[in-house]
Amino acid sequence: MKKIKFIELDVLKPNNLKVLDLAKEVASLGEFYSVSIKVMERDRETESTQMFVEADNIDYEKLIKKIEDSGATVHSIDVVGVGPKPTKIWK
C-alpha cells in the first residue's frame, strides 16, 4: 500500500478551538508530522480553514479522528499526495 505523504483538508472548526491548539493536536499524531492551518473565513461561531499535513506516512483514519475529537469537522480532501515522491500542487 502506498504511503500518504501530504494532505490538504477543508476543516470547519468552532471559534473556541484555537488554530494553534488544533495544529498542535494534529502534530501530536507522530514525531514527524508537520501541520499548517490557514483561516479562510470567520463568522460568529465557526472558522473555515485549510489544513495542510505532511509526514512520511499519514494515518488518514487517525488524522480524521483527531480532528473530529477536537470538535472540528472535515468537509473535504482538497489535495493529496501518495507515493515515494508525490508532486505538490497548490491553488
Sign of torsion over alpha carbons 50, 37, 27, 11: negative
- Given this model, what pLDDT does residue 10 score? 98
Q: What is the CATH number of the domain that holds 68?
A: 3.30.70.1340
Helices (DSSP H) in the chain: which residue ranges?
A: 19-27, 60-69
Is the overall model pTM greater than 0.85, yes or no?
yes
Q: Is 87 within the bounds of a domain? A: no
Domain that holds residue 21: 4-82
- Given this model, what pLDDT does residue 59 score? 96
Provide, rounded to the nearest whole percent, the portion of the chain with pLDDT above 70: 98
Structurally, the chain folds into a number of domains equal to 1
- Given this model, what pLDDT does residue 20 score? 97
Instruction: Tell me the per-residue pLDDT of 10-50, one tens digit each, with 9 for 90 and over.
Output: 999 999 999 999 999 999 999 999 999 999 999 999 999 99
Instruction: Please choose, from the candidates 70, 81, 73, 1, the residue with its C-alpha nearest in 3D space to the C-alpha of residue 34.
Output: 81
- Given this model, what pLDDT does residue 91 score? 53
Answer yes or no: are the C-beta atoms of 24 and 34 closer than 8 Å: no
Q: Is 19 within the bounds of a domain? A: yes
